[in-house]
Amino acid sequence: MFVLRFISWVCVAIALMLLGADAVSSVEEGQIVMRSVPYYLSLMSGEGGAAAYVDAVPTMLSYLLASPAWAALGALGVVLVLLFRPID
């Protein structure tokens, strides 16, 4: 149970870091910048073809992939925090 709580808090922390990165990029460019999940997948894979994953997945999952990365990871982290909270 502790491991799942730890993973959920790590998801929330990474989401806050991604939000900060988007905020800094927005200030630098002078317009709103929101990077999606396929953007980060293409950075990790080294190829530019990660955007094709959005077309290959079911509709509900494609909405999650097309959303900002910080929102997707943050929502997942918050849901996991609520599911795996200690109950006394």
* Residues of the domain holding 23: 2-83
SS (H, E, C) 12-41: HHHHHHHHHHHHHHHHHHCCCCCCEHHHHH
pLDDT digits (tens, 9 = 90+) for 30-71: 999 999 888 887 787 766 555 555 556 677 777 777 889 999
What local confidence, expressed as pLDDT, does residue 58 receive? 72
Please report whether residue 10 resides in a domain: yes
Q: How many domains does the chain fold into?
A: 1
Rounded Cα gap, residues 7 and 82, in angstroms: 12
pTM: 0.79
In a domain, 6, yes or no: yes
Residue 88 lies in a domain: no
Cα–Cα dist 26/78, whole Å: 25
